[in-house]
Amino acid sequence: MATPLGVRKTLFPIFAFNLEVARAPWVTKEPLIAEMRLQWWQDVLSEISDGRAVRRHEVATPLASSLTPAAAEALKAVVEARRHDIYPEPFETKADFQAYIHATSGCLIRVAAQALGPADDQVLANFGYATGIANYLKALPELTEAGKTHMPDTNEGAVQLLAHEALLNLRLARKARGKISKKAGYALLTGWQSGAVLAAYAKQPQANAHRGDRRGVRLSGLRLLWRSLLKRW
C-alpha cells in the first residue's frame, strides 16, 4: 500500500462506505429495495452525527471511528446523490450533472482528506470534481449499456468539453498543493490516474469511450508509491 498504516485505518472505512453506497443502486432491479439500501446508510450516518450507538456492521462500525459528527452529516449528500443511480433518467441540465459529481466525488474526497489533516475546501472541491469526472468517463461505456448515462448530452463534443473542464479543475488543485497538508494528501492519491484519464478523453473521447477502463493509462504500483512519497497527487 502507498499510505501509512494509521492513514489506512482512517481511510479504509470511508472508502468502503462509498463502495457500499455506490453499489446499492446496482445490486437489485427493484427501485424500492435500492432506496431501502441507501436509506440504511443514511440512518448509519444519522447515528454517527447524532452521537448515538452505531449498529454493528463490518463497515458501519469502523466508519464511526473515522468520522466526526459533522463529517457524517456531510456524507449524507453522497447517499442522497446516489439515489439518482437507481433510475434511468439523465439529469436535465449540465449543472445538475455537475452537482451530482461534486456530491458523489467532491464531498467524499473532502471528508476523507480532512479526516486526516488540514486541507483547503476549494482545492479539495477542484480535485474531487476532476477525479469524479475521470471515474465517470471510465465507466461511461458500462453506464451507456445499462441505460444510465446521467449526462444530458453524451456526444463526442460534450464528452471532450467535460474532460477539458475537469482537467482545468485538476490543474488548479495541483497548483495549490501547499494548501493541503501532507497527511491529508494521502486521501487524494485515490485520484492519481485522473490526469492521464482526462487528457486521453479530451484528446480522443470516442476512441477512449470504447476502451473504457482498459485503455492502458494505469501507472505502476512503484510509481504510485513514488507519488505518495513526493506528495504528487
C-alpha cell at 124: 479539495
| 168-217 per-position pLDDT tens digit | 999 999 999 999 999 999 999 999 999 999 999 999 887 565 554 444 44
pLDDT for 51: 96
- pLDDT, residue 218, reads 47
The verdict on 92 and 129 lying in the same domain is: yes
C-beta atoms surrounding 167 within 10 Å: 20
Task: Please say whether the beta carbons of 87 and 41 come within 8 A.
Answer: no
User: Do residue 132 and residue 174 come from a single domain?
Assistant: yes
Domain co-membership, 72 together with 95: no
CB-side exposure of 124: number of CA atoms within 13 Å? 23
What CATH number does residue 172 fall under?
1.10.600.10
**Dihedral, 189, 193, 195, 197 alpha carbons, nearest 10:** -150
| Runs of H (alpha helix) within 147-193 | 156-175, 182-188
Q: Each residue of 2-27: pLDDT tens digit? A: 678 889 999 999 999 999 999 999 99
Mean pLDDT of 149-164: 94
125 in the same domain as 93: yes
Q: What is the pLDDT averaged over residues 122-148?
A: 96
Same domain, 28 and 97: no
Same domain, 80 and 100: no
Looking at the fold, whether 33 and 106 belong to one and the same domain comes out as no
pLDDT-based confidence at residue 43 (cuts at 50, 70, 90): very high
How many domains, the chain? 2
Rounded CA-CA distance 220/89 in Å is 37
Dihedral sign from CA coordinates of 44, 48, 54, 57: positive
Query: By three-state DSSP, how is residue 180 classified?
Result: strand
Q: Domain end: 34, 51, 86, which one?
A: 86
Per-residue pLDDT at 227 exceeds 80: no
For 48, the domain range is 1-86
End position of a domain, from candidates 86, 101, 119: 86
Taking CA atoms, 191 is separated from 127, 133, 146, in Å, by: 8, 10, 25
- Residue 219 is predicted with a pLDDT of 47
Same domain for 99 and 9: no
The answer to whether the beta carbons of residues 201 and 163 sit under 8 Å apart is: yes
pLDDT at 226: 45
Do 109 and 185 lie in one domain? The reply is yes
> How far, in Å, CA of 74 to CA of 125, rounded?
13
Same domain, yes or no, for 72 and 94? no
Q: CB of 226 within 8 A of CB of 232? A: yes
Q: Which among 41, 61, 86 is the end of a domain?
A: 86
Q: What is the pTM of this model?
A: 0.89
Q: Which of 42, 14, 37 is nearest to 24 (CA)?
A: 37
One domain for residues 55 and 129: no
User: Residue 43's beta-bridge partner residues?
Assistant: none
Q: For 78-131, how does the pLDDT look when each residue is reduced to its tens digit (9 = 90+)? A: 999 999 999 999 999 999 999 999 999 999 999 999 999 999 999 999 999 999
pLDDT attached to residue 2: 63
The amino acid that residue 189 corresponds to is L
How many alpha carbons fall within 13 Å on the CB side of residue 37?
Answer: 22
Q: Based on the domain organization, do 47 and 156 belong to the same domain? A: no
